[in-house]
């Protein structure tokens, strides 16, 4: 998926203008910041013009929400977007900058972030601020939070957008966690928890609840069994046996599903624990083409190219949750395209499992 010419970038949830560009997209978005919607099928010599399908589908059920029209001026608002250098995160940063927000673009690669910030400046005439953040390394997460808190006393909105999708099971975080769960869930939980003072300060100063917007996916339905096999979450012989039993194709998808159901659980946790000062929701951005899909097998990428939507549409639902939905509407909810309250898999309502997952995460971040 990396490199080559495309008419549209893989991104979660939004139909954006077609354009040809050379991409080496990096950050945390792939076949599915959520992979269930628009696709362009390409062979090396002949593009098959099923790529129009996404545009047609968007016109059949077009979004009524328009960021450029409906988001108010955001002058004075302080916002963080994780994974902001590519995909849905990039498109989110773009809309925020167009509305004059102070945007911290959190990403792992300084080089790729600098390139994204340069493009954003050309497109919006405003400049994002780079915040170095590696969600797969807990000391990096703490350092990023401390750097932000050293510059800002208040955080109005946190977009927990970055992530990894269907990475090979042998890829682990610096602390030996499954790369998907460690990045998508543990890293974001720790980052959010460290930023609670700034989110609380936002409410104290404005009397408006701060918002945490967590990018999940309809892919949470891929989670195995009751929703979480804890043995799969950390490297070791038991996990190796689990992966072998699942098989090389199914294991990455099951792990992805666990990470996405985990996103919903941590969203619910923050919504309940800090209900007096903030609101929190999880969302499915739509079937979007993003670089998250770089780990997908070739045939899945071909199908994805034909059916998935480009990135700009992927940003719609999280922007709707951040600026249009009322706090009462969105907190503790699961949003779906293109800005609606939806229903997650029934396993999400398992409050006992939610508590167990949160307890597991808290244990993993101890000492960091």
Q: Which of 33, 202, 216, 267 is catalytic?
A: 216
Q: What is the CA radius of gyration of the chain?
A: 19
Pairwise CA distance, residues 212 & 72, whole Å: 18
Q: What angle do CA 348, 33, 169 make, to 5 degrees?
A: 80
Instruction: Provide the sign of the torsion angle of the four alpha carbons 109, 111, 117, 120, taken in this order.
Output: negative
Residue 183: DSSP 8-state = I
Structure-token pair, residue 109: 């690669």
Q: Which of 77, 94, 260, 289 is catalytic?
A: 260
Structure-token pair, residue 126: 């405003």
256 is known as an active-site residue: yes
Q: Are 212 and 267 in contact (CB under 8 A)?
A: yes
Q: Which residues are within 8 A (CB) of 295 and not within 5 positions of it... i.e. 6 or more apart? A: 30, 31, 165, 166, 167, 168, 252
Q: Are 274 and 196 in contact (CB under 8 A)?
A: yes
Q: Are 304 and 6 in contact (CB under 8 A)?
A: no
Burial 323-355 (b: 16+ CB within 10 A, else e): bbbeeeebbbbbbbbbbeeeebbebbebeebbe
Active-site residue set: 216, 256, 260
């Amino acid at each position: 998926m990396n490199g080559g010419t495309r008419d549209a970038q893989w991104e979660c949830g939004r139909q954006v203008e077609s354009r040809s560009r050379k991409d080496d997209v990096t950050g945390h978005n792939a076949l599915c910041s959520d992979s269930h919607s628009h696709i362009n099928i390409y062979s090396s010599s002949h593009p098959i013009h099923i790529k129009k399908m996404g545009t047609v589908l968007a016109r059949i059920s077009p979004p009524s929400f328009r960021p450029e029209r409906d988001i108010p001026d955001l002058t004075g608002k302080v916002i963080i977007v994780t994974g902001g250098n590519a995909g849905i995160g990039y498109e989110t940063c773009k809309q925020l900058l167009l509305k004059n927000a102070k945007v911290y673009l959190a990403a792992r690669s300084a080089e790729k972030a600098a390139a994204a910030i340069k493009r954003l400046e050309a497109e919006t005439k405003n400049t994002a601020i780079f915040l170095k953040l590696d969600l797969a390394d807990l000391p990096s997460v703490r350092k990023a939070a401390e750097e932000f808190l050293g510059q800002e006393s208040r955080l109005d909105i946190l977009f927990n957008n970055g992530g990894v999708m269907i990475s090979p099971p042998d890829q682990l975080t610096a602390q030996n966690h499954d790369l998907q769960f460690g990045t998508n869930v543990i890293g974001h939980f720790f980052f959010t928890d460290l930023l609670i003072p700034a989110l609380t300060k936002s409410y104290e100063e404005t009397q408006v609840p701060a918002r945490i917007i967590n990018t999940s996916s309809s892919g949470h339905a891929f989670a195995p069994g009751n929703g979480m096999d804890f043995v799969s979450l950390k490297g070791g012989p038991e996990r190796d046996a689990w992966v072998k039993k699942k098989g090389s194709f199914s294991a990455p998808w099951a792990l992805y599903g666990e990470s996405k159901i985990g996103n919903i659980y941590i969203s619910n946790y923050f919504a309940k624990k800090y209900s007096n000062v903030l609101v929190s929701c999880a969302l499915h951005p739509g079937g979007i083409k993003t670089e998250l899909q770089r780990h997908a097998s070739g045939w899945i990428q071909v199908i994805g190219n034909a059916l998935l939507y480009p990135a700009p549409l992927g940003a719609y639902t999280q922007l709707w949750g951040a600026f249009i939905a009322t706090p009462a509407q969105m907190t503790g909810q699961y949003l779906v395209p293109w800005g609606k309250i939806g229903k997650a898999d029934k396993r999400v309502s398992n409050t006992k499992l939610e508590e167990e997952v949160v307890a597991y995460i808290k244990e993993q971040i101890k000492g960091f």
